[in-house]
Amino acid sequence: MKYLRFLILLCGLLGIDGTAAVANSQRLLYAVSEAETDRGSIAVYDIDAGHRLVRTIATVPDVVDVRGIVASATTGRLYIAYLDRSRIGMIYCLNLYDDRVLWNRAVSPGVDRLAISPDGRLLYVPTWEDGTADFINILDASSGEIVRRVQLTKRSHDTQYPLSGPVFQETKADDGSGAYLYRIDPQSYAVSRVGPFAGILGPYAVDSASHHVVGDVTHLWGMQVADLQTGEIVTANLPGQAPGDLWLLHGIGWTADQSEVWQNSGPSDPRVFVWDMTNPMAPVVKQTLRLRSGRGSHWLTFTISGDYAYVAPYKNRDDGTEIFDVRSHTSVGVIGSSEDMLEVDFANRRIGGVGDQFGIGRR
């Protein structure tokens, strides 16, 4: 609602009919269901209408495990990576203008949380956190054809293309190589790395200038922050006792203005920690939030403007995804179970912008 009031006021100052402008503008949240009954379908919510469910898009059958989501404002296409009932890695492409599935194809040897180039022409697809392939695939986004491989290390998992680039890749490799964050030059495909971190790097998020990255790390009750320019890494410890099932805290992201980082706790711990990032290399915990479910969470992300945060339950559960007002840190609602979600903004029936499944910085 704050966004709507601002838009109406701005239009008034410009001499434009604000109500008409609002009527032709929508911020929609596309959230892929993880619920057992309709896993793989997409629920579309109107962000500025209290996250009202607008429609549900039936997509493809036999979705067992949703692995990631990306979209392009330039091409108007959205992509979902998933495993089917035979555990085959698949990607489908959806036309955002008419909800049609344009193609749905297997990608060998597997898929995981993918990224897309700024022009919407290429998909960067990891080959699965439990796989043995030592590369990621680069796909033609128009067809799903593999056009290139980039050699890294095994068990590639989360691929990220932040606002300033380049492509970043994390892996779950347990041979020591998983303790690094990899950078891939999108022109030359040269690979460099940052690290080592204190353990295997888990979920991570890069700021808007690609200056700092925050990350969950195995067996760490807290997070690590790396200066991507100098290579310095600092550890920020959480207060109190770690939960007994601590292996990897799962879910971390910058608020859009980069003043805070939000971090999920463990599988059985319903807490979300809010870090003050005034000095990115000296984070301070400023608040602890608690989830309505009383259970742990697995992912989090934010709207483009940063007014809402979405904290998702553990994968393939029916618990809802909780919505928080970022400014007040208060819970304001729950939507269906999803961690694979992003914002799509429409203006006069054209796509003006898309968000990101990762909590990337946007300052």
d(CA 266, CA 3): 33
Q: List 78's β-bridge partners, or say none.
A: 71, 94
AA letter at 218 = T
Spatial CA neighbour of 345 closest among 121, 1, 24, 19: 24
Task: Identify the pLDDT of residue 1.
Answer: 45
- The pLDDT, as a whole number, for residue 23 is 53
Sheet of 212-217, strand order: 201-206, 212-217, 222-227, 233-237
Domains defined along the chain, listed by start: 2-354 (2.130.10.10)
Residue 8 is predicted with a pLDDT of: 45
Q: Residue 47 has which token pair?
A: 């962000």
Q: Which portions of the chain are predicted below pLDDT 70? A: 1-23
pLDDT of residue 330: 98
Confidence (pLDDT) at 317: 85
Which of 207, 205, 235, 203 is CA-nearest to residue 222? 235
Task: Specify the pLDDT at position 18.
Answer: 43
What's the predicted TM-score (pTM) here? 0.93
**DSSP bridge partners of 176:** none
Say what the pLDDT of residue 16 is. 45
| pLDDT score recorded for residue 13 | 52
CA-based nearest residue to 303, from 120, 51, 57: 51
When the pLDDT of each residue in the chain is averaged and rounded to a whole number, the result is 94
pLDDT tens-digit profile of 52-84? 999 999 999 999 999 999 999 999 999 999 999
Alpha carbon dihedral 55, 60, 62, 63, in 10-degree steps, equals: -60
Structural contact between residues 261 and 205, judged by C-beta atoms closer than 8 angstroms: yes
Total residues found in the chain within this entry:
363
CA–CA dist 123, 147 (Å, integer): 10
Question: Can you spell out the DSSP letters for 87-150?
Answer: --EEEEEEETTT--EEEEEE-SS---B-EE-TTS-EEEE---TT---SEEEEEETTT--EEEEE
What pLDDT sits at residue 24? 83
* Residue 124: both structure tokens together: 């960067």
Tell me whether residue 328 is exposed, middle or buried, using C-beta atoms within 10 angstroms of its C-beta: 0 to 12, 13 to 18, 19 or more: exposed
